[in-house]
Amino acid sequence: MRFDTVLIGGGLSSLVCGILLQREGKKCLMISAGQNALHFSSGAFGLLGCMPDGTPVDAPFEAFSALAPSHPYRKIGRTLCESYADAAVPFFASCGIPLQGFGRRNGFRLTASGSFKRAWLAFQDVPFFSSDDALDGKRALIVTLDGFLDFYPEMLSDGLRRRGVESRCVSVHLSCLDALRGGPGEMRSVGIARILNRETNWKQFGREVRALLDGEDLVIVPEVFGLEDRIVNEWIAEMIPAQVLYVGTMPPSVSGIRVQRLLKNAFIQAGGTFLMGDTACDPEWAPDGTVRCIHTANLGAPGIEADSFVYAGGHLFGRGIESHPDGFSDPVFGLDVVCDADRASWVERGFFQAQPYMGYGIGTDERFRGLKDGRTVENLYVAGAQLAGCNSLQEGSGAGVAVMSAMHIAADILKRTENVGE
């Protein structure tokens, strides 16, 4: 079996890269071992929320020059990053995912604890503001659902109070959720969203909230709507005579799942082949050190050949890199993982401190081609969370690195085949 490009991983980075390539007529195969980090999405994409030392960042592109030269953004360069950023919004819109943002500056996303976090772009149904004082002086009604344990109104209320936003917490009893509430299973965001997707049910919710409203300017509800289509969120907002804000819950992320499905559909619609629940393994190498073909656990013996391979297997959670008592490794290609040799320095003692191990990843050259024993593998690119050189959790840069590296790699692959064509 032969493809132009094989992408390993089915998350944000792989999907963006795959869609861009497939739309340019490249025959792509995507191999995804289980679902991905979009299922835990906050509803917003971070680019650079703060510097590695914790200093908050308002103008991320201007801050790139202060990052280490090994940081993915430095490898791409500010000018190209800015052009990719400009391309990102129309790109996601073309996949059915409208995003909101504030140009070159960070916006502020309201979190479930009532604080504001810096982010680059946000899904349309996420409360996203140009400054962290956007809600100051307002009054809010925070609504949860009886029996739902993955959303904490009091915590949210407490966080808002510190900003001078007064709020009242209420819980709504919806009879359509009785079966879910009384059942032996867990009452999770997606289960609720499935039920509230039905018109009679979300209308019941809208009516109950409208009745509870007592002059508040804001209504804050958990994001348990819009699993299929975010139009439901807009319809509910229309029913309620106040500004309605949907705030993320504990996983799974309803909006993240929707976005993942839209991206996957865009890839398939463009003609891409998606292998779900399969694992890449046993690469075969050509004499010149490039990857000749890859195998998968499900497909077995026939190798999958390609001109180029994009490895976007995620971080430790996605098992794109693995930890062992004596170090870290790449489970598929055996590429070099950049990490501290001394186990004692992998972690910081303080739970909320930046954890060094979160910054470990696969080493690459300037074009994001993986290094194996220090040498560049010419046709194997590494994208997204798997890349070394950034602590995305600390920086709030996970989605930014995923999207930028994916766009950079897609451009490189397209340029390279153009050159061959000449």
Partner 1 sequence: MSENSINHFEQCIKCTVCTAYCPVLGVNPAFPGPKQAGPDGERLRLKDKFYYDPSLKYCLNCKRCEVSCPSGVKIADIIQSARRRFNDDTPDLRDRVLANTDFMGKMARPFAPLVNKVVSLRPVKKVMDVMMDIEQERTFPKYRSKGFDAIFRSDFAPYQNRFPRHVAFFRGCSTEFQHPETGIAFVRLMNAVGIGVRLLDEKCCGVALMANGLWHHAEKNARHNVKVFSEAVAGGLPVVAVSSTCAFTMRDEYPGVLEVDNASVRESITLAEKFLFEQVDSGRVKLVFRKDYASRIAYHIPCHMEKLGWSIFTKELLQMAPSISLKVLDSNCCGMAGTYGFKKENYPYSQAIGRPLFEQIKSLSPDVVCCECETCKWQIEASTGYTVLNPVVILAEALDIEATCAANGGFVKA
What does the binding site for partner 1 look like in residue numbers (CB under 8 A)? 1, 33-36, 39-40, 179-180, 182-186, 188, 190-191, 194, 251-252, 257, 268, 273, 275-279, 296-302, 317-319
Minimum distance from CB of 126 to partner 1 (Å)? 19
Minimum distance from CB of 51 to partner 1 (Å)? 29
Asked if residue 58 lies in contact with residue 118, where contact means CB atoms within 8 angstroms, the answer is: yes
Question: Alpha helices, DSSP H only, in 213-330?
Answer: 231-239, 254-269
Task: Pick between residue 105 and residue 194 the one whose CB is nearest to partner 1.
Answer: 194
| Cβ burial 39-76 (10 Å sphere, 16+ → b, else e) | bebbbbbbbbbbebeeeebbebbebbeebeeebbbbbb
Minimum distance from CB of 335 to partner 1 (Å)? 21
Task: Pick between residue 317 and residue 348 the one whose CB is nearest to partner 1.
Answer: 317
Task: Pick between residue 242 and residue 402 the one whose CB is nearest to partner 1.
Answer: 402
Cα-flanking dihedrals φ and ψ of residue 351, to 5°? -60, -40
Task: Pick between residue 146 and residue 166 the one whose CB is nearest to partner 1.
Answer: 146
Number of other residues whose CB lies within 10 A of the CB of residue 237: 18
Task: Pick between residue 287 and residue 300 the one whose CB is nearest to partner 1.
Answer: 300
Asked if residue 205 lies in contact with residue 148, where contact means CB atoms within 8 angstroms, the answer is: no
Minimum distance from CB of 185 to partner 1 (Å)? 4
Task: Pick between residue 50 and residue 399 the one whose CB is nearest to partner 1.
Answer: 399
Minimum distance from CB of 374 to partner 1 (Å)? 31
SS3 (DSSP) at 359:
helix
Q: DSSP string spanning 387-405?
A: BSS--HHHHT-HHHHHHHH
Q: Which CA distances in Å does 310 have to 166, 258, 339? A: 49, 24, 22
Cα-flanking dihedrals φ and ψ of residue 386, to 5°? -75, -15
- What tokens appear for 362 in the block? 């696969």
* Start-to-end Cα distance in the chain: 26
Q: Which amino acid is at 220?
A: I
- What tokens appear for 287 in the block? 């004499």
Minimum distance from CB of 250 to partner 1 (Å)? 8
Task: Pick between residue 34 and residue 103 the one whose CB is nearest to partner 1.
Answer: 34
Minimum distance from CB of 82 to partner 1 (Å)? 33
Minimum distance from CB of 98 to partner 1 (Å)? 22
Task: Pick between residue 52 and residue 251 the one whose CB is nearest to partner 1.
Answer: 251
Cα-flanking dihedrals φ and ψ of residue 149, to 5°? -105, 5
Asked if residue 200 lies in contact with residue 206, where contact means CB atoms within 8 angstroms, the answer is: no
Q: Which CA distances in Å does 64 have to 79, 121, 209, 288, 303? A: 11, 18, 45, 35, 41
Task: Pick between residue 39 and residue 416 the one whose CB is nearest to partner 1.
Answer: 39
Minimum distance from CB of 391 to partner 1 (Å)? 20
Minimum distance from CB of 298 to partner 1 (Å)? 3
Cα-flanking dihedrals φ and ψ of residue 197, to 5°? -70, -20
Q: DSSP string spanning 29-45?
A: EEEESS--GGGG--SEE
Classify residue 349 by its DSSP letter. Answer: S
Task: Pick between residue 47 and residue 280 the one whose CB is nearest to partner 1.
Answer: 280
Task: Pick between residue 157 and residue 249 the one whose CB is nearest to partner 1.
Answer: 249
Asked if residue 383 lies in contact with residue 310, where contact means CB atoms within 8 angstroms, the answer is: yes
Minimum distance from CB of 29 to partner 1 (Å)? 8
